[in-house]
Amino acid sequence: MRCAFNTALMTSAHTAFAEALAKVFVREGLRVLTPESFGVCAPESVDIYVDTSDSTDGRDVFTEGAGLDESLTRRIYEHNVLRPMTLLEAHLKALIGGQGRRLCFLSSRAALTSSALADSNWAYKLSKAALHMFLQMAANKLLPMGFTFRLFDPLCGLLAPEAAAEAAFSYFTRRRGTERDNPMRDDETRLVLRDALGGEHAW
Amino acid sequence: MNAVFITGADRGLGYALCASYLADGFTVFAGKYLCDYSLLERLGERYTERLHIVPLDVGNPESVVAAYAYTAERVGGLDMLISNAALMGRVNCSLLDPPMDIEAAWRSFSVNALGALRLAAAFMPLLSAGQTRRLCFVSSEVASVTLMKHSRSDGFPYPMSKASLNMAVRLLFCKYYPLGYTFRLFHPGWMKRMLPDGSLSEEAEYDPTDIAATARNYFDNDLGDEHRLIMLDYRGREWPY
Ligand SMILES: NC(=O)c1ccc[n+]([C@@H]2O[C@H](COP(=O)([O-])OP(=O)(O)OC[C@H]3O[C@@H](n4cnc5c(N)ncnc54)[C@H](OP(=O)(O)O)[C@@H]3O)[C@@H](O)[C@H]2O)c1
């Protein structure tokens, strides 16, 4: 089945997962735009938007006394929260002008407050908690305008980027939960996190 | 003697908690940020020995370290740490009415979430030397992603920061509960604003002094299920976080 989106905007295609996802988009006939491809002239119309920001850092550890590394925490927050906010604002007009109005973001099941563990990546987890809240509040504004949201955990380290990209493509481009004989049933208003193996995780 | 440290103590809930603990004989270290309010100084006239006003900006790591040093010079251990300080207030941060004040999200995060974490990290040695080893955090219903489904608000930064705060408390809980520390996460309800003369604004529902009493009920008493981190509100109701 031909997917319903023609143009995908990816905020970056530099990670192995993002690169693999860009390849799947192209294979499936989508035009893929990245900041490198459109330079300073932002595109006028975009159907599906994928923010690939998902930055972790091995030095992101909490120590008693010192707490978190301040400048590293700022960098992680900038990358995972402030940048996605800025970019979404910048591209919103093109998304309104497009056909798909689908917004996709990356997160991790390790960064869900109800089940997070203290092992590592505290600044990352704090940043993702903020991102989740931003997306829920953004969804409250944008769902009535026909936007839909996808939040995805590529399970980096567990799954090959290519396999994660196939799963992401399927999750990003399908419609969620409408039944042909029951059009009242629509799952699109629920913001959830799904992982590359199809698992869905509660906040 | 029991000793507590309370942040954001010069007005509102923080001030009401100070007054309540002082009245019950506690030694109170009261974090004070700006100098607009002098309610604490007035309280200090009554409790010269037991109230210590500590300059503190939780958004600034050096200030947290200095507040710790100040406290450690005066007391051998703390029983409770109450992280109550918060940056609130409206900011222009609407996706549909650009430009968003993106830095406001960082400022809220740095004070409301990181601030609490900075404080906990710095004060652990004093807490470990105390009797109760309890860390209390004042959060909010807006920390819950699930419940924000019903919000039409444009003010992203504050709820984002409280969501991060809950994550910070969750991580602290996972790390320190097995070491004998207990945790409280509290949603105080919609409180009236305390004005510089100690009177309350008309707007909002609850008097911070009444909320301080219910908060203390939760903060001071042991629970049967300390192994579970929960967020309780001023009526003892549990909230998802
Ligand atoms: N009011 C409500 O309806 C409501 C609802 C839900 C949750 N809460 C939470 O309940 C807590 C208390 O609320 P409230 O209404 O009593 O607040 P408030 O009257 O606005 O007082 C906030 C306190 O935090 C201090 N503060 C602000 N920035 C600080 C910083 N960088 N470092 C240290 N202290 C700082 C303020 O100091 P200055 O006086 O010097 O500015 C003040 O003492 C907060 O955590 C708030 O998020 C309140």
Ligand 1 atom 32: residue of nearest CA: B57
Residue B191 CB less than 6 A away from ligand 1? yes
Alpha carbon B91 to its chain centroid, in Å, reads: 21
Nearest residue to B181 via CA among B228, B134, B130 = B134
The minimum-distance atom of ligand 1 relative to the CA of B83 is: 45
Contact B131/B77 with Cβ under 8 angstroms?
yes
Sequence ranges of the domains in chain A: 7-202
**What distance in angstroms lies between residue B83's CA and the mean position of ligand 1's atoms?**
10
Read off φ and ψ for residue B64, nearest 5 degrees.
Answer: -65, -45
Contact B156 A137 (CB under 8 A): yes
Confidence (pLDDT) at A1: 53
Ligand 1 atom 1: residue of nearest CA: B191
pLDDT higher than 80, residue A198: yes
**What distance in angstroms lies between residue A67's CA and the mean position of ligand 1's atoms?**
22
| Assigned CATH for A7-202 | 3.40.50.720
Confidence (pLDDT) at B150: 84
**What distance in angstroms lies between residue B88's CA and the mean position of ligand 1's atoms?**
7
In a mutagenesis test of the A interface, which of B91, B127, B164, B238 is the best target, namely the one with the most A β-carbons within 10 Å?
Answer: B164
pLDDT higher than 90, residue A4: no
Confidence (pLDDT) at A20: 98
The minimum-distance atom of ligand 1 relative to the CA of B33 is: 40
Query: B11, B107, B237: which to mutate for ligand 1, most atoms within 8 A of CB?
Result: B11
pLDDT higher than 70, residue A16: yes
Arithmetic mean of pLDDT, A173-183: 80
Given a cut of 70, the residues of chain B with pLDDT beneath it are: 1
Query: How far is the C-alpha of B93 from the C-alpha of A66, rounded, in Å?
Result: 32
- The per-residue pLDDT for range A78-94, each reduced to its tens digit, is 999 999 999 999 999 99
Contact B166 A138 (CB under 8 A): no
How are beta strands A148-153 and A193-195 bridged, if at all? Answer: parallel
A-to-B residue pairs, Cβ atoms closer than 8 angstroms: 137
Query: How far is the C-alpha of B14 from the C-alpha of B6, rounded, in Å?
Result: 7
Query: How far is the C-alpha of B6 from the C-alpha of B82, rounded, in Å?
Result: 5
Residue B12 CB less than 6 A away from ligand 1? yes
Ligand 1 atom 16: residue of nearest CA: B12
Peptide bond into B61 cis (omega under 30): no
Arithmetic mean of pLDDT, A93-114: 96
DSSP B108: H
Question: Alpha helix (H) ranges present in A98-160?
Answer: 122-142
pLDDT higher than 60, residue A173: yes
Q: Strand A48-51's sheet: what is its strand order? A: A31-33, A7-10, A48-51, A102-106, A148-153, A193-195, A200-201
What is the ipTM metric for this complex? 0.97
Confidence (pLDDT) at A179: 72
Query: B17, B33, B190: which to mutate for ligand 1, most atoms within 8 A of CB?
Result: B33
Query: B32, B64, B88, B187: which to mutate for ligand 1, most atoms within 8 A of CB?
Result: B88
Which residues in chain B are contacts of A203 at CB distance < 8 A?
Answer: 144-146, 240
Confidence (pLDDT) at A35: 87
pLDDT higher than 80, residue A185: no
* Higher-scoring residue by pLDDT: A179, B176: B176
Confidence (pLDDT) at A202: 79
Angle, to 10 degrees, between the axis of helix A16-27 and the axis of helix A161-173? 50
Tell me the whole-structure pTM to 2 decimals. 0.97
Confidence (pLDDT) at B225: 95
Confidence of residue A2 (pLDDT cuts 50, 70, 90): low
| Dihedral Cα B187, B189, B192, B196, nearest 10 deg | -10
Express as a percent the part of chain A with pLDDT over 70: 99
**What distance in angstroms lies between residue B14's CA and the mean position of ligand 1's atoms?**
7
Query: How far is the C-alpha of B66 from the C-alpha of B118, rounded, in Å?
Result: 12
Cα distance from B152 to chain A (closest Cα, Å)?
A: 6
Counting beta carbons within 10 angstroms of the beta carbon of residue A171, is it exposed (0 to 12), middle (13 to 18) or buried (19 or more)?
Answer: middle
Strands (E), A111-195: 148-153, 193-195
Query: How far is the C-alpha of A73 from the C-alpha of A56, rounded, in Å?
Result: 10
- The per-residue pLDDT for range A31-56, each reduced to its tens digit, is 999 988 877 777 889 999 999 999 99
